[in-house]
């Protein structure tokens, strides 16, 4: 069983409603909480992230969570759903203030470690364009990193799909509906149908959803006047590791150009990223979860996370971890078990000790079975 931990950090952080673009109150609260827990320094960085530091060693372990949430405030409350089983309801309790609070508590309980600096980051804007994570990639050069997203306390996440968005657009001169001439609406729908057919063909021999392209139609719009009709479809692709966003854009242009349908890239394209399953960080988590009496598991997710942003830059052993049931992400019923939170804090604290202790690192090498 996990040792008992105070959930004050979790409850306090979740109580600070802060959707993307409105995180400042939550950031200020977390900085003050870090200071009260004994972090040597805790400040708001140039991007607006909350950053707490423990230790001054040359080696660095970064625990990167995100502090923003999707919109939709949920009244924060504790409920005892079974005797001794407390559950916290509130926006961000799962995605992803729960993991961030667990990072904060675990790091503070471990204290200073000779030769190491622990960096806990509450990044802003993950639910939109990951401005917070993009702002820290060049500021830190970690030996190891842990990214905070809900995996369930007894599982680790090893990868996230990539994503790329585009508009398909067509213009056509107005014509009589009986003329047989293609309308702008028909042109973009025809292009969409061909893209969907190509995606189906690409996916035929892929057994795992993480290896497939997931196509979505995100919006439709058309307008016309006396002389011209304009139509637009907004499409998205969730991409596997083997298929980069630039390949995706090339493919949809290849389909659309001959149809006189133009394409426009939107937002930030995000490549997929998968962690090394045999890294020392993964092995440390497997050992720490087993230490709590549970059999660990692995997860690959079809969404995106700050892992996609920092992974290709930092290129160090890393993993994604955090308490909470990810099926509750963005839902009006978002909640987390206090017992699960406590277990995750114990796991993270053990992982930090293993990664920063030479003897524990040697022991971890044989933990994978």
DSSP 298-334: EEEESS--HHHHHHHHH-SSEEEE-SS-GGGTTSTT-
Question: Does residue 68 carry a catalytic annotation?
Answer: yes
35 plus 180 within the same structural domain: no
Please give the structure tokens belonging to residue 258.
């001959």
Which residue's entry shows tokens 């998205």? 236
Please indicate, yes or no, if residue 2 is contained in any of the structural domains: no
State which residues form the domain around 198. Answer: 162-270
pLDDT value for 368: 44
Residue pLDDT, tens place only, 150-193: 999 999 999 999 999 999 999 998 765 566 689 999 999 999 99
199 plus 316 within the same structural domain: no
Q: How far apart are CA 306 and CA 319, in angstroms?
A: 11
Q: Which of 270, 298, 332 lies at the terminal end of a domain, its last residue?
A: 270
State the Cα angle at 30 between 27 and 34, rounded to 5°.
140
138 plus 170 within the same structural domain: no
223 plus 146 within the same structural domain: no
289 plus 313 within the same structural domain: yes
Question: Does residue 291 carry a catalytic annotation?
Answer: no
Please give the structure tokens belonging to residue 102.
């667990």
Average pLDDT over residues 135-164: 97
Residue from 95, 105, 126, 329 carrying the catalytic annotation: 126
Please indicate, yes or no, if residue 172 is contained in any of the structural domains: yes
Residue from 23, 68, 95, 127 carrying the catalytic annotation: 68
Please indicate, yes or no, if residue 118 is contained in any of the structural domains: yes
For the chain, give the mean pLDDT: 93
73 plus 155 within the same structural domain: yes
């Amino acid at each position: 069983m996990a040792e008992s931990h105070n959930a004050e950090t979790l409850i306090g952080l979740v109580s600070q409603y802060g959707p993307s673009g409105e995180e400042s109150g939550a950031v200020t609260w977390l900085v003050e909480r870090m200071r009260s827990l004994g972090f040597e320094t805790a400040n708001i960085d140039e991007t607006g992230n909350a950053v707490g530091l423990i230790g001054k060693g040359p080696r660095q372990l970064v625990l990167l969570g995100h502090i923003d949430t999707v919109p939709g405030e949920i009244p924060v409350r504790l409920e005892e759903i079974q005797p001794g089983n407390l559950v916290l309801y509130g926006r961000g309790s799962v995605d992803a203030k729960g993991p961030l609070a667990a990072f904060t508590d675990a790091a503070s309980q471990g204290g200073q470690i000779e030769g190491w600096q622990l960096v806990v980051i509450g990044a802003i804007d993950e639910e939109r364009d990951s401005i917070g994570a993009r702002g820290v990639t060049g500021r830190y050069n970690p030996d190891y990193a842990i990214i905070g997203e809900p995996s369930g306390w007894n599982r680790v996440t090893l990868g996230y799909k990539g994503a790329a968005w585009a508009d398909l657009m067509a213009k056509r001169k107005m014509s009589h509906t009986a003329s047989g001439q293609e309308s702008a609406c028909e042109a973009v729908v025809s292009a969409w149908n061909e893209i969907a057919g190509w995606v189906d063909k690409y996916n035929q021999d892929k057994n795992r959803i993480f290896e497939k392209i997931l196509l979505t139609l995100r919006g439709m719009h058309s307008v016309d006047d006396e002389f011209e009709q304009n139509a637009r479809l907004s499409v998205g692709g969730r991409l596997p590791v083997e298929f980069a966003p630039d390949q995706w854009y090339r493919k949809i242009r290849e389909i659309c150009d001959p149809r006189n349908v133009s394409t426009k890239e939107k937002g930030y394209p995000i490549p997929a990223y998968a962690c090394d399953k045999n890294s020392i960080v993964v092995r440390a988590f497997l050992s720490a979860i087993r230490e709590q009496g549970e059999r660990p598991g692995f997860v690959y997710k079809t969404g995106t996370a700050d892992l996609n942003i920092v992974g290709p830059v930092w290129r160090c052993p890393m993993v994604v971890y955090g308490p909470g049931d990810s099926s509750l992400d963005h839902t009006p019923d978002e909640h987390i078990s206090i017992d699960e939170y406590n277990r995750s804090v114990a796991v993270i604290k053990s992982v930090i000790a293993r990664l920063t202790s030479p003897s524990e690192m040697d022991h971890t090498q044989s933990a994978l079975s």
